[in-house]
Chain A
């Protein structure tokens, strides 16, 4: 029997895959997969704009100058809320890819590769974060129409807030999606849990006008701080409920906690007998 092997190049076996390279590759895959689906790109950009214009003008004419948002036009008041909604929906929905990856064999092929779970979480979450943060920033183009004229420093701060909110919500999306095996169940959770989260974030109505328990829920809702931070940055002249640094600190904490939860979820399966 011929034992002469066809000699193929043997790359030096890497000592450890590490976290960054696999995380980078999963991040990049998420982005490439997104822009190759043109309908997804169009839908994500067009729908929030439509939402803002239709709901904003409707509410604006119904509650003209009567709201506790002061003398602000409702279209302007509503603008940061729509920005957060874009981030919320994109962040959560991009993590539906975790379920798709699981349904197809892709997730399996990552799980049998010598990749730390933290790299999987980091790559997927940063991928979703990038997509939703970029979309949020694109929506910022309309800020002048909402009466917000930003200098470069403000844009940078807005970008930081947008990133933190995106990261936290994508982490949350990952943690919800990881144990699920159907996208229907995922939709159920979104309707039950995430839409109220947005409604009670000060996006639609201000905290000052809310009744007792609703107000309490808004206080503990981390999204409130995202909406509030954006509103403070976009309309510095308006009275703020929280200071910008404290709102951003809370958002950073929220991001860390969500990433931790996502990481714990991703590690859960290996510690159980049946992965």
Chain B
């Protein structure tokens, strides 16, 4: 039993990317009855890092999250949290992780303090030290003055912060959050991310967060982009975007995008991708390229745009399709039932 306690302390002095990973996912595979949700996923999360799992609905994020949080046992492969296998030693892993689910876990009929008080008991905290810790955590999430109020009177953003407080209460080494900003307005969303960054900087908590929002993924230190059960890209947002040469040009075809793409490819010797009725081209000095294309194919192009590469471009480059597709939405529904 004392071994458990030894794991509880992650030394705050050590804060470098070369250290043992806090989360280590190795070749993780998970199959539901008729579908493969995870198809050999591998990545590491480093200490005091804000790590994002970006993917459309149905990409396997939720399944991966369930395995990391010890709710599910994978078909094969390993998910190690601070060296403990989430399938083999769930009790130890549970001590190490703070989990914030997408679904609301707080009790609206209880006060902020009471919610955290029950949570503390579940982790074996009690008495005066629990009280002190609750005050600390409420201060940390900016709700110290609302401790005695029923949570049902709180705004959505404040309720989410109580959820975050629940996850933090027992000093977890790793914080896992499943789409924590779902249903929040943009202001509350920004606030929550601010809190996560503060936690990483001041308490050296390693944070793994799933999201389907590009602008949230941009705020992560590193991220894994997932698609159909695979990690299709892994790195810092800047690294990922830098792999795209130059700018991204989108051309709205007047008639058939496939034909236009074929002709552009033949003429300019560039890679093209067809997305619905658009042709997408990555190209340096895009302003010159655009002039040439428009002159070469008069009347074929209805509109065009040039932009700096974004994470969505990384996704399209790696998968050949857009981030949001109807197919992915259907899959996410079946994933919800698959628990």
Contact = CB atoms under 8 A, between A and B. Distances in A.
Interface of A: 1-3, 5-6, 8-18, 21-22, 24-26, 28-29, 32-33, 36-37, 103-106, 108-115, 270, 273-275
Interface stretch (B101-109, B183-191, B264-272, B292-300): B101-109
Nearest to B176: A112
B32 A10 contact: no
Contacts of A274: 32, 72-73, 338-339
Contact of A21 (B72, B121, B203): B121
Interface string B91-119: 10011010101111111011000100111
Contacts of A29: 107, 110, 118
The 8 closest A-B CB pairs, nearest first, are A14-B124, A105-B105, A105-B103, A25-B121, A17-B124, A13-B8, A109-B105, A113-B122
Contacts of A25: 117-118, 121-122
Contact of B122 (A2, A33, A115): A115
A21 B124 CA distance: 7
B88 to A, nearest CB: 13
Interface string B122-145: 111110011011001000000000
A108 B103 contact: yes
B123 A113 contact: yes
A8 B109 CA distance: 29
Contacts of B126: 21
B70 interface: yes
Contacts of A273: 72-73, 75
Interface residues of B, number: 55
B105 A104 contact: yes
A9 B129 contact: yes
A275 B122 contact: no
B166 interface: yes
Nearest to A32: B110
B283 interface: no
B3 to A, nearest CB: 10
B1 interface: yes
Given A10-B171, A105-B103, A112-B97, A5 B125 contact: no
Interface in B1-54: 1-2, 4-5, 8-9, 12-13, 15, 32
B102 A105 contact: yes
B210 interface: no
Contacts of B106: 106
Nearest to B169: A11
A106 B107 contact: yes
B220 to A, nearest CB: 17
A65 B201 CA distance: 81
Nearest to A7: B12
Question: By CB atoms of chain A within 10 A, which of B12, B122, B166 has the most?
Answer: B122
Contacts of A6: 202-203
A100 to B, nearest CB: 10
Given A25-B122, A32-B109, A32-B114, 7 more contacts: A13-B95, A28-B118, A32-B110, A37-B109, A105-B103, A109-B99, A110-B122
Contacts of A28: 118
A268 B9 CA distance: 32
Given A33-B109, A33-B110, A110-B122, A15 B73 contact: no
B304 interface: no
